[in-house]
């Protein structure tokens, strides 16, 4: 964060700073609180970041990131079910087993690639 006297020195103790009052309607107040929460920031940090135009503060909607993580986990569950299908291959007619194994193995590889892409996307969003 930046001080009022020198815009390049970080403030080590926020308790020594002065508050600024902002008048808003109850609806506006609630919207500000919700947006700060979505970004994983306190209301003060959120408003400072917006007002000061801090380039190093990235506003991330963590609820969306959580949904991406849940999707990645679900893909893992699908992989588990497909592997279970491969273990039960004896129930499939002999002439179809090779095609079945190739198809399921291909699906697993494709889902694993999508999982890796999703993981990289989540990491980039959170780190930036």
pLDDT digit string (tens) for 27-40?
999 999 988 887 77
What's the structural domain count of the chain? Answer: 2
Looking at the structure, tell me whether residues 45 and 21 fall in a common domain.
yes
Domain finish residue from 31, 59, 87: 59
Alpha-carbon gap, residue 57 to 44, rounded angstroms: 13
Looking at the structure, tell me whether residues 68 and 115 fall in a common domain.
yes
Looking at the structure, tell me whether residues 14 and 42 fall in a common domain.
yes
Looking at the structure, tell me whether residues 51 and 87 fall in a common domain.
no
Alpha-carbon gap, residue 59 to 40, rounded angstroms: 8
Alpha-carbon gap, residue 61 to 65, rounded angstroms: 7
Parent domain of 33: 1-59
Quote the pTM value: 0.51
Cα–Cα distances in angstroms (integers) from residue 4 to residues 16, 43, 114, in the given order: 12, 19, 47
Looking at the structure, tell me whether residues 67 and 119 fall in a common domain.
yes
Find the range with the poorest average confidence among 15-19, 54-58, 82-86, 90-94: 54-58
């Amino acid at each position: 964060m930046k001080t009022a006297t020198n815009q390049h020195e970080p403030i080590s103790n926020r308790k020594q700073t002065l508050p600024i009052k902002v008048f808003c309607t109850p609806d506006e107040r609630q919207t500000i609180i919700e947006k700060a929460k979505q970004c994983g920031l306190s209301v003060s940090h959120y408003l400072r970041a917006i007002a000061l135009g801090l380039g190093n503060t990235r506003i991330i909607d963590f609820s969306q990131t959580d949904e991406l993580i849940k999707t990645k986990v679900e893909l893992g569950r699908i992989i588990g079910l497909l592997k279970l299908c491969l273990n039960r291959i004896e129930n499939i007619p002999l002439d179809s087993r090779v095609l079945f194994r190739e198809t399921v193995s291909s699906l697993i590889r494709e889902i694993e690639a999508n999982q890796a892409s999703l993981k990289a996307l989540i990491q980039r969003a959170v780190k930036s």
